[in-house]
Amino acid sequence: MHKRQLGQDGLVVSAAGLGCMAMSGMYGPSDRSESIATIHAALDAGINLLDTGDFYGIGHNELLISEALRERSRADVVLSVKFGALRGPDGAWLGYDSRPAAVKNSLAHTLTRLNTDYIDIYRPSRLDPDVPIEETIGAIAEMIEKGYVRHIGLSEVGVETIRRAAAVHPIVDLQIEYSLLSRGIEAEILPACRELGIGITAYGVLSRGLLSGAWSKERVLAGSDFRAHGPRFTGENLDRNIDLVAALQTIADAKGASISQIASAWVVAQGSDIIPLFGARRLHQLHDSLASLEIGLNADELASIERAIPKDAAAGERYHSSLMQHLDSER
HEC-encoded secondary structure of the chain: CCEEEECCCCEEEECCEEECHHHHCECECCCHHHHHHHHHHHHHCCCCEEEEECCHHHHHHHHHHHHHCCCCCHHHCEEEEEECEEECCCCCEEEECCCHHHHHHHHHHHHHHHCCCCEEEEEECCCCCCCCHHHHHHHHHHHHHCCCEEEEEEECCCHHHHHHHHHHCCCCEEEEECECCECHHHCCHHHHHHHHCCEEEEECCCHHHHHHCCCCCCCCCCCCCHHHHCHHHCHHHHHHHHHHHHCCHHHHHHHCCCHHHHHHHHHHCCCCCEEEEECCCCHHHHHHHHHHCCCCCCHHHHHHHHHHCCCCCCCCCCCCHHHHCCCHHHC
State mean pLDDT over 184-199.
97
pLDDT of 329 above 90:
no
| CA 129 to each of CA 103, 157, 163, 328: distance values in angstroms, whole numbers, following the listed order | 15, 11, 16, 9
Per-residue pLDDT reduced to its tens digit, 224-280: 666 766 788 888 888 888 888 888 999 999 999 999 999 999 999 999 999 999 999
Residue 184 confidence (pLDDT): 93
pLDDT bin (cut points 50, 70, 90) of residue 286 is very high
* φ and ψ of 184, to 5 deg: -65, -20
Strand partners, 121: 80, 151
Catalytic-role residue among 56, 96, 122, 148: 56
pLDDT bin (cut points 50, 70, 90) of residue 323 is low
21-35, 45-59, 274-288: which has the minimum mean pLDDT? 21-35
Strands 119-124 and 93-96: unpaired
Residue 31 confidence (pLDDT): 92
Question: Measured between alpha carbons, how far is 286 from 38 in angstroms, rounded to an integer?
Answer: 7
Contact 221, 228 (CB under 8 A): yes
pLDDT of 14 above 70:
yes
Burial class of 46 by CB neighbour count within 10 A (0 to 12, 13 to 18, 19+): middle
pLDDT of 216 above 70:
no
Respond yes or no: is residue 319 known to be catalytic.
no
pLDDT of 319 above 70:
no
Residue 269 confidence (pLDDT): 96
Please report how the helices 32-44 and 283-292 are oriented relative to each other, as an axis angle in degrees rounded to 10.
30
Question: Measured between alpha carbons, how far is 55 from 25 in angstroms, rounded to an integer?
Answer: 11
State mean pLDDT over 271-298.
94
Question: Measured between alpha carbons, how far is 2 from 16 in angstroms, rounded to an integer?
Answer: 9
* Mean pLDDT value across the chain: 92
Residue 217 confidence (pLDDT): 66
State mean pLDDT over 314-328.
72
Per-residue pLDDT reduced to its tens digit, 87-145: 999 888 899 999 999 999 999 999 999 999 999 999 999 999 999 999 999 999 999 99
Which residues 6+ apart lie within 8 Å of 212 measured at CB?
206, 259, 260
Residue 232 confidence (pLDDT): 83
Nearest CA to 189 out of 168, 166, 216 is that of: 166
Nearest CA to 325 out of 184, 127, 160, 131 is that of: 127
pLDDT bin (cut points 50, 70, 90) of residue 206 is very high
pLDDT bin (cut points 50, 70, 90) of residue 325 is confident
